[in-house]
Structure 1
Amino acid sequence: MDQFEEGQKIASRYIILRKLGRGGMGEVYLVEDTTCGEQRALKTLRSKYLKSNHAKARFVREATTARQLTHPGIVTIYDTGNWEDTLFYTMDYVDGKSLRQWMHQWGRFDIGSTVRILCLVADALVHAHRLTVHRDLSPENIMVLADGSIRILDFGLAKSDDKFKNLTMVGVNLGKIAYIAPEQHMDASRVDKRADIYPLGIMFFEMLTGRRPALGDKISRICPELPRETDVFLAKAMARNPNDRFPSAQVFQSELLALYQRVRDWEIKRNTFFMRIWIAVTNLFQRKQARPPL
């Protein structure tokens, strides 16, 4: 069964309230869990994929991997099941917008908001990387809530060191192309946590400029309010060779906070410089105005 109807009861427990969205492999519904009265999100795998052992294994892996991760920045998985040939699992209902939706709404973010959001994402990744690599990070699967907190979704492409480690087919491009680390294109089965640093760099650039980076872009030229140290930071985050990239989400977060402090210091120096020029010009104008007539 691919479509659930409003009011329908699933697995003698979940009442369908409405559909939240549809992806390539299934639907997501808002449901009420009658055992506790809480609202949850219920994600399904479409029936046409039930014949694919690979698709089923990946769906189970998503639920199994995420269920092991307990962190305020990662969506919580509650239950898994199979109802009338439909695989499903339930998770937190996140009442917010994706980072992509916020990008469309705001256009460009200021440096403070950018740093805050990406530091929260990096903090969640520090926890996740103890068990797995996400491999599909993008603005679409990072939810930003009204209170400013974030939730990372969709661990379906996650690579872990457990029994699911061989499910990724070598040579298959998984995830959203623009955010995939270069090494993932070559051999997705051998990526490590540095593959999740690359999309953080892409999102940093995109949040500040309103577009994804092109070859040769320097963010300090596009955003002259940013110092050249920002270019150095991005070159490290988006390095094509993972050996040249930040080695972990923790290091990325630390360097991002250090960069933010340098940006603030640079802004103070720049504003002080322009203030001195303004004062000098004002004083010169006042002196000219004060001269007695000849």
Structure 2
Amino acid sequence: MLNEEDFLFGKTALHHGILTKEQLEECILILQAQKEAGRELTLEEVALENHFLTREKLLEIYRLLGKNRIGNYEVEKKIAQGGTSSIYIAHHIQTGKKVALKVLLPHLTRNKEFVARFDREGEALTQFDHPHIVKAYETGVYQKHHFIALELLEGESLYEFLGQKTGIDERVALEIGLQIAKAMKYLHEKGFVHRDIKPQNIMITTDQVVKLIDLGLTKQISQISITQKGMILGTPYYISPEQASGAEKIDYRTDIYSWGATMYHLLTGRPPFVGDKAKEVMDKHLKEDPLPPWQINRSISQKTSALILATLEKEPEDRPLSFEMIIHHVNQILRPDFNTDKKTLEEGEVHSELIYSRESQKLLALTQEENRKRRRKKKKGGKSISQRLLQKKKKIAKSIG
């Protein structure tokens, strides 16, 4: 026996030809079987779960029932769908303000992990107020629909912007990277780790403002340890080695690696590592060193190439100490006269200006090859970082008189 809500839903779907009589009867049989098994589902959930309805058709039924509403928002149209959520253009019923309404996919609302992750994203976003992070106005649950009301942005994702390009202009890439770094500095100062920086989660608005738009894997640092050991979260092309290995504890340095992998893609037109399968790509993050960006795109300066390689170090402690440091170095590269430096650096050399900058020593003093040697020497009891830095300083000082 159907309750009143399910009866009206089924009657409307049948009357308007959205469901056939046979489909409706099958949905009712499945619904009854599920209830006998202890699962409390609605007719619409059964129809969606068993692919008798698409999300668009469900919204059509909602409109016919006068139910195209989620919380305080009236849904207008769907504009995107990902693996866990759909995005709709909607407007606030009282104020008329247009928003992007992010709604967890119906079949995931019974998965506690996905619900917790979605709700955590909403809670985090409502706490943030930064020009390079999408603004959240409200988060909640309405008739089992988990939703986040976000500012409506016009533009395209960084992934769409890249398209089939073989890399973009270095200065443009650095300007984009700088805005992302500022957003990440803000997140880290708030005590959050993003864990999934990638071009798909970054948007460039029509006003050329870069914004982080997806914080689905964001967690407070104090909560990271609750991640199940061995669980891999993140996107293979941009994932850090510690994430790829399923490490139990992840900190802010994983975001520095993913920022570097994203910048590598911007500058060269491809991620640091590619492969046919996710495991193959993750193994490369763990075991292989990326080609220096300037070897793929010869227009990239050695300074930028060195910065990107520093962020892609396998060991978290070998990466830049913070996004504040990254912002410092990007600004150094972007200064008006940075293109006037005609000195060509061979791979393995370090610019004396950067060596003598105390803040820069950790970031750019050791190149990729030197770090490989250091890791080998570390196992054999080789010279310390500070000893080799001192030697390099003396060598540079002697060469410049």
TM-score, scaled to structure 1? 0.83
Aligned CA distance change for structure 1 residues 84 and 94 (closer, same or farther; 3 Å) = same
* Structure 1 position 60 matched with structure 2 position 140: no
Residues 80 and 89 in structure 1, CA contact (< 8 A), matched pair in contact too: yes
- State the SS of the aligned residue for 2:341: helix
**CA-to-partner distance for each residue in 1:253-292, whole Å, 9 max, x for gaps?**
111222344751236x78xxxxxxxxxxxxxxxxxxxxxx
**2:182 match: secondary structure:** helix
8 Å Cα contact 1:141-1:152 kept in structure 2: yes
> Hey, what's the Cα distance between the residues in 2 that align with 1:51 and 1:216?
41
Distance 2:157 2:207 in 1: 14
- Contact kept, 8 Å, 1:63 with 1:80, in 2: the verdict is yes
- 1:239 correspondence with 2:299: no
1:143 maps to 2:218: no
Please say if residues 198 and 239 of structure 1, whose CA atoms lie closer than 8 Å, have aligned partners that are also in contact. Answer: yes
Q: Secondary structure at the match of 1:15?
A: strand
- Is it true that 1:168 corresponds to 2:227 in the alignment? yes
Is residue 125 of structure 1 aligned with residue 179 of structure 2? no
1:206 corresponds, among 235, 246, 265, to 265
Q: CA separation in 2, counterparts of 1:210 and 1:78?
A: 35
Asked whether the equivalents of residues 100 and 140 of structure 1 are also in contact (C-alpha less than 8 Å), the reply is: yes
1:259 matched to 2:340: no
- Tell me how far apart the structure 2 counterparts of residues 22 and 40 of structure 1 sit (CA, whole Å): 16
Cα distance change of structure 1 residues 216 and 203 upon mapping to structure 2, 3 Å threshold:
closer
What residue number does 1:152 align with? Answer: 212
What residue identity is the alignment partner of 1:266?
D
Between the two structures, name the one with larger relative contact order (CA 8 Å, sep ≥ 6).
1
Aligned length: 268
Q: From the superposition, tell whether residues 84 and 203 of structure 1 become closer, same or farther in structure 2 (CA, over 3 Å).
A: same
Q: Aligned equivalents of 1:12 and 1:184: distance in 2?
A: 36
Equivalent-residue separation in structure 2 for 1:222 and 1:57 (angstroms): 41
Decide whether aligned partners of structure 1 residues 202 and 12 sit closer, same or farther in structure 2, where only a CA change above 3 A counts: closer
Partners of 2:140 and 2:148 within 8 A in 1: yes
CA contact (8 A) 2:311 2:320 kept: yes
Task: Write the letter of the residue equivalent to 1:142.
Answer: I
Structure 1 residue 104 corresponds to structure 2 residue 158: no
Give the ranges of 4+ consecutive aligned residues of structure 1 lying more than 6 Å apart after TM superposition: none
> What does residue 78 of structure 1 align with?
137
Greater helix content: 2
Q: What is the distance in 2 between the residues matched to 1:61 and 1:234? A: 31
Work out which of the two has the higher radius of gyration on C-alpha atoms and give 1 or 2.
2
Aligned residues with identical type, % of pairs:
28
Q: Hey, what's the Cα distance between the residues in 1 that align with 2:117 and 2:248? A: 14
Q: Provide the rounded CA distance (Å) in 2 between the counterparts of 1:227 and 1:166.
A: 39
Cross-structure match for 1:273 = none
**Matched residue, 1:289:** none
Match of 1:5 among 59, 80, 88: 59
Deviates more, 1:1-10 or 1:21-30: 1-10
Worse-superposed segment, 4-13 or 115-124: 4-13
CA contact (8 A) 2:224 2:250 kept: no
Q: What is the rounded CA distance, in whole Å, between the counterparts of 2:270 and 2:225 in structure 1?
A: 35
Is this contact kept in 2: 1:138–1:199, CA < 8 A? yes
CA spacing shift, 1:252–1:168, aligned 2, 3 Å = same
By how many angstroms is 1:188 displaced?
Answer: 4.9
Question: Structure 1 residues 220 and 46 mapped into 2: Cα distance closer, same or farther (>3 Å)?
Answer: closer
Say whether residues 1:89 and 2:148 are aligned partners: yes
CA distance in 1, matches of 2:147, 2:158: 25
Structure 1 residues 209-218 or 114-123, which shifts more? 209-218
Shift of 1:216: 4.3
Partner residue, 1:249: 323
Greater strand content: 1
Q: What is the distance in 2 between the residues matched to 1:219 and 1:89?
A: 38
TM-score when normalising by structure 2 = 0.62
Which of 196, 209, 218 is the equivalent residue of 2:255?
Answer: 196
- In 2, the alpha carbon distance for the partners of 1:108 and 1:171 equals 34
Which residue of the other structure, out of 290, 295, 314, is the alignment partner of 1:221? Answer: 295
Stretches of structure 2 that go unaligned for 5 or more consecutive residues are 1-44, 49-54, 274-288, 345-401
Given that 1:168 and 1:188 are in contact with CA atoms closer than 8 Å, whether structure 2 keeps it comes out as: no
**1:86 to partner: Cα distance:** 1.6
Return the letter of the residue paired with 2:59. Answer: E
Aligned pairs (5 A) from 1:15-26: 15-26=74-85
